[in-house]
Structure 1
Amino acid sequence: MTDHYEPGTDNVSDQEARERVNRLLTDYPKLADKHKDSEGLPPTRTWFIPPHYHKDYYLRDVVSLCEQGYGEVELHLHHGKHCPDTSENLRETIKLCLEEFSQFGIFGKENGKTAYGFIHGDWALDNARNNQFCGVNDEISILKETGCYADYTFPSPNEATPTQINSIFYAKDDPTKPKSHDTGKRVAANGQCDPKDLMIVQGPTFPYFRDQKWSKLRVSGDEIAGHTPLKPNRIDACIRSAISVKGKEDWVFVKMHTHGATDGDAVLGQEMDDIFTYLESKYNDGENYCLHYVTARETYNLIKAIENGEPCEDPSLYRNYRVSAPQYNSTPDIACASKTLQERVARTYKDNEDVQSYDQAQGPSYSPEPGMVGDEASQEK
Structure 2
Amino acid sequence: MSVLDRLREKNLHTWLRDYGRHLVRKARAPRPTGTRHIMFALCDHYEPFWRKPGEEVGRARVDAWHEQYPKLANEFRDSDGRPPRHGFFFPGEEYRAYFLDKLADLCHAGLGEVEVHLHHDGDTAETLAPQLEETLKLFAEHGHLSRVGNQYRWAFIHGNWCLANGRPDGKWCGVDDELPLLHKLGCYADLTFPAAPDPSQPDKVNQIYWPTGDLTQRRSYDHGERARVGTVHEDRLLMITGPLAFARKGRSGIRLENGALTGDDPPSKERVDTWIRAGIHIEGKPEWTFVKVHTHGAIEKTAASLLGAGGRAMHEALRGYMREGWKLHYVTAREMFNVARAAMDGQTGDPNEYFDYVIPPPPIAS
TM-score (norm 1): 0.81
Structure 2 residue identity aligned to 1:96: E
Question: Alpha carbons of 1:105 and 1:173: their partners in 2 closer, same or farther (altered >3 Å)?
Answer: farther
Please provide the CA RMSD for this pair: 1.6
Cα deviations by residue, 1:3-50 (Å, 9 ceiling, x for unpaired): 101111122222122111111001100000000000110000010001
Secondary structure of residue in 1 paired with 2:222: coil
Asked if 1 retains the 8 angstrom alpha-carbon contact of 2:211 and 2:221, the reply is yes
Query: Residues 92-131 of structure 1: matches in 2 within 5 Å?
Result: 92-110=130-148, 113-130=151-168, 131=170
Asked if 1 retains the 8 angstrom alpha-carbon contact of 2:190 and 2:238, the reply is yes
Task: State the 1:184 CA deviation.
Answer: 0.5
Equivalent pairs, count = 321
Aligned equivalent of 1:13, options 47, 51, 54: 54
Asked if 1 retains the 8 angstrom alpha-carbon contact of 2:49 and 2:94, the reply is yes
State whether structure 2 residue 331 is matched by structure 1 residue 291: no
Aligned equivalent of 1:321, options 357, 363, 366: 357
Aligned equivalent of 1:152, options 191, 197, 200: 191
State whether structure 2 residue 178 is matched by structure 1 residue 139: yes
Secondary structure of residue in 1 paired with 2:322: coil
Number of the residue aligned with 2:205: 165
Secondary structure of residue in 2 paired with 1:291: strand
Asked if 2 retains the 8 angstrom alpha-carbon contact of 1:138 and 1:173, the reply is no
Asked if 2 retains the 8 angstrom alpha-carbon contact of 1:173 and 1:197, the reply is no
Report sequence identity in percent: 36
Number of the residue aligned with 1:50: 91
State whether structure 2 residue 291 is matched by structure 1 residue 254: yes
Number of the residue aligned with 1:303: 340
Query: Residues 184-195 of structure 1: matches in 2 within 5 Å?
Result: 184-193=224-233, 195=234
Asked if 1 retains the 8 angstrom alpha-carbon contact of 2:180 and 2:216, the reply is no
Mapped to 2, the partners of 1:154 and 1:304 lie a distance apart of: 19
TM-score (norm 2): 0.85
Task: State the 1:307 CA deviation.
Answer: 0.7
Secondary structure of residue in 2 paired with 1:48: strand
Cα deviations by residue, 1:301-343 (Å, 9 ceiling, x for unpaired): 00001111222x111110000000111189xxxxxxxxxxxxx
Mapped to 2, the partners of 1:154 and 1:137 lie a distance apart of: 17
Mapped to 1, the partners of 2:159 and 2:306 lie a distance apart of: 20
Mapped to 2, the partners of 1:241 and 1:175 lie a distance apart of: 27
Mapped to 1, the partners of 2:277 and 2:105 lie a distance apart of: 35
Cα deviations by residue, 1:199-235 (Å, 9 ceiling, x for unpaired): 1101101111211x22x21211011112123221221
Structure 2 residue identity aligned to 1:317: E
Secondary structure of residue in 1 paired with 2:205: coil
Number of the residue aligned with 1:86: 124
